[in-house]
C-alpha cells in the first residue's frame, strides 16, 4: 500500500485523525502540542495520531493529500479541517466543538 492509499484509509476509517510531529504524550513541535491541547479541550481524548517523523513517505504524502504544506493536520469524519491556526480559530469561535459533536468522549 502506498502512502496515499494508507492516508486515505486512515482518514476514512477513523472519526478523528491528527497527523503530527511526535505523539499526543510527547509532541515534537509546539504546533502539534497546541493541536493536542485543543482536541483535549474539546473533550476528545481518543483519536488516531500519526507521527509523521516515523515515516518520511507519510510526512511528504500528507502534504499533497490535502494540498496543505504544513503539519499538524486534522481530519474529522474523513474531511480535512486544517492545521494549528485554523483549529485555534475554530475552537475560539465554537466551530470546532460543533464539528466534533458526537465524537466527544463521555465523562
> Minimal CA–CA distance to 37: which of 4, 3, 29?
29
CB 35 within 8 A of CB 70: no
Rounded (5°) CA angle 48-5-33: 30
DSSP class of residue 14?
Answer: S
CB 17 within 8 A of CB 74: yes
Report d(CA 80, CA 56) in Å as an integer.
20
Any binding-site annotation on 29? yes
Q: Which residues are annotated as a binding site?
A: 29
Q: Which residues are annotated as a binding site for [2Fe-2S] cluster?
A: 29
Amino acid at each position: 500500500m502506498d502512502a496515499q492509499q494508507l492516508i486515505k484509509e486512515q482518514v476514512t476509517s477513523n472519526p478523528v485523525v491528527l497527523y503530527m510531529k511526535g505523539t499526543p504524550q510527547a509532541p515534537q513541535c509546539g504546533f502539534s502540542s497546541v493541536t493536542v491541547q485543543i482536541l483535549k479541550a474539546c473533550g476528545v481524548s481518543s483519536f488516531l495520531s500519526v507521527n509523521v517523523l516515523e515515516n518520511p513517505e507519510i510526512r511528504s504524502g500528507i502534504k499533497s493529500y490535502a494540498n496543505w504544506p504544513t503539519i499538524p493536520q486534522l481530519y474529522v469524519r474523513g474531511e480535512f479541517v486544517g492545521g494549528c491556526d485554523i483549529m485555534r480559530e475554530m475552537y475560539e469561535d465554537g466551530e470546532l466543538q460543533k464539528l466534533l459533536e458526537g465524537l466527544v468522549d463521555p465523562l
